[in-house]
Amino acid sequence: MSNHDEEHVSPSTLQPMVIILGLILVATVVVSLLLAKPAGEDPVPVVANVEDNIKPIATVEVAAASVAHVDKSGEEVVKAVCAMCHAAGLMNAPKIGDKTQWGPRIAQGYETLVQHAQAGIRTMPARGGNPDLSDAEIAGAVANMANQAGANFDPAKLAKK
């Protein structure tokens, strides 16, 4: 009991005070470190064009070739590529389903039309401007459009030739 009277600050109040003082000290050190950052310090050099630097190692060209190409149907190709011009008759492209416009074209024969669609003819771009299309996809697309204008082209027969 006498011990209690001799102490000016009891341990129960001293401990929290030490913790608070410690926190203030830490905060002060952090703030002064942040403020003390030299103004003229050189910025960390930015490594520009990382991609260029790693290019010779990172370029892999086999990927595109090794991915198996799955042919889309003639209808899918027409919708995705050919319809862009042939739906509305852009640049006088023969309109899909227009027998008057397709008649003379169809008369040239399936094989010739397919060749023209693959190689391009006049304002018609080769493969409709999409070099990724396979020969079979072009043949299917030609049959799809021509058949909607009265032809009876069969891509399977063309492929067997």
Q: Which residues bind ligand HEC (CB under 6 A)?
A: 77, 81-82, 84-86, 90-94, 105, 108, 113, 116-117, 121-125, 127-129, 133, 138, 141-142
Contact status, residue 75 vs residue 128, Cβ threshold 8 Å: no
- The least distance separating ligand HEC from the CB of residue 150, rounded to whole angstroms, comes to 14
Nearest to 130 by CA among 69, 76, 81: 81
The alpha carbon of 44 is separated from its chain's Cα centroid by a whole number of angstroms, namely 33
Distance CA 103, CA 114 (A): 15
Of 22 and 89, CB closest to ligand HEC:
89
Of 21 and 121, CB closest to ligand HEC:
121
Of 136 and 142, CB closest to ligand HEC:
142
Nearest to 74 by CA among 147, 149, 150: 147
